[in-house]
Amino acid sequence: MNPLNLPSRTAGQHGPLPDFLPAEADVADVVSVIAPTGDRIWLVTAYDLGRAVLTDERFSRAAAVTPEAPAVHPMRPDPAALTSLDPPQHTRLRRLVNRPFTPRAVAGLEEGIRRQARRLLAGRDRIDLVAEYAMPLSATTICRVLGVPEAEHDRFAGLADRALGITTGTFEEQGPARDALRAYIRELIDRARRDPGEHVLGTLATAYDEGGALSHDELTALVELLLNAGYETSIGQLGLAVVSLLEHPDQWHRLATAPHRETAAAVEELLRHAPVVPMSFTRVARQDVRLGPVVVRAGEALVVSLLHANFDARAHRDPARLDITRCPARHLTFGHGAHTCLGAQLARTQLRVALEELATAASGLTPHIPLPSLPWRQPEAVVRGPLTLPVNLTGSGRSWGRRCSSQP
Ligand code: HEM
């Protein structure tokens, strides 16, 4: 593999990464690493191989959540969660929740996200883009999709912040907060069962009560996954994208002066360059599988480093360079295959609209504290991102356009 030059390691400004993710330049396509649990895990670092593995049914998610399976994180995933299932159980459950995440359904949310973004930025010349922008945008969006009442968005955001450690906290402090968030989610489900309404919560509650299409454990795990995954990823991703742009002021200038129709391409490059989830969930081989020179034995675990795949020089020209005109900017930031991110379209829309409105509000964006002193989420967290991101907003927004560069 060609030399890697991960900006997160070299500049130290994309925050800490888990120790077992190799930082060295000449990392092989498949390497053996020791996870924080002490378990040995295969790590796939190549783009094409990573994509292939994520669609390969010889690797199982269900086998990766059993108590005896090698694991990356000490906290075992819920075996009833959508992310923990293989087909056909996975297909059945995913079909139940697909509809509000289709491009068409997400397009219907865009205007609301834009109006809120404008309101949050109005009259500001300094703003913490985590606490005062990404968090309220993300909370409102996912709560609207699920059908959490408007008056309770702040309650959800506060509980989720403490439970997931988005702006503060250690894993120990998160324990009781997680219990409180779970209790709130159970309360939401109970209410949806009594009065379903038309949103995801109601649809799922009805599917449980009337059709027996999912078990109570699956229902609870699904709502928890949608609320949590839908909330913290979008917050971290906006923070990371803005940090990348602050590190590359020329790219911010391009974005700030680009017509709206071109920001979709810029978003893909930002997703490639600073993926908020640096690696896939663990999969376990059902049988011996040869991956290049390596044989992954049945029962062994494997993870795809989405971050390394996004910087594989065979798939991306000059991968360390942030080039928002790169198109297409291919990446594995949303995973691939059956478990590919359900909220990808929603996440893309939120990121694009948040950046467009930021660029419309201010042509000048500078960090209010030096980037190297930004505090970051703990490296063991599945989702990364800055805990705070205070920036200064100056000047007025967009005026002229630009073109896409070509890409291998
Ligand atoms: C930039 C933001 C986001 C990123 C980078 C991201 C990334 C990912 C990745 C990498 C996976 C697959 C992991 C694997 O297969 O190993 C995934 C799955 C998933 N994501 Fe996202 N995600 C984001 C936002 C969201 C949002 C907004 C939602 C909304 C609910 C969401 C819901 C889910 C769900 C439900 C799954 C599991 C899908 C399945 O197992 O079938 N994500 N995400």
284-311 per-residue burial string, b: 16 or more CB within 10 A, e: under 16: bbbeebebeebebeeebbbbbbbbbbbb
pTM score, whole prediction: 0.93
The residue ranking higher by pLDDT, 259 or 151, is 151
Q: Which of 87-91, 119-123, 320-324, 381-385 has the lowest mean pLDDT?
A: 381-385
Mean pLDDT score, 308-319: 92
Confidence tier at 270 by pLDDT (50, 70, 90): very high
**Tokens at residue 189, please?**
């489900």
Q: Which of 7-11, 36-40, 42-46 has the lowest mean pLDDT?
A: 7-11
Percent of the chain with pLDDT over 70: 93
Mean pLDDT score, 44-55: 97
Q: Which residues contact 337 (CB under 8 A, 6 or more apart)?
A: 51, 54, 55, 56
Nearest CA to ligand 1 atom 31: 343
Is the CB of 359 within 6 Å of ligand 1? Answer: no
Q: Which domains are delineated in the chain?
A: 77-276+322-394 (1.10.630.10)
Q: What is the DSSP string of 46-99?
A: -HHHHHHHHT-TTEESGGGGSTTS--SSSSPPPTTSGGG--TTHHHHHHHHH-G
**Tokens at residue 393, please?**
């907003």
How far apart are alpha carbons 394 and 108 in whole angstroms? 31
Angstrom CA distances, 55 to 202, 336, 375, 398, stand at 32, 7, 36, 41
Is the CB of 234 within 6 Å of ligand 1? Answer: yes
Residue 316: other Cβ atoms inside 10 A: 23
Q: Is the pLDDT of residue 9 over 50?
A: no
Q: Ligand 1 pocket check: which of 233, 272, 304, 353 to mutate, most ligand atoms within 8 Å of Cβ?
A: 233
How far apart are alpha carbons 277 and 384 in whole angstroms? 6
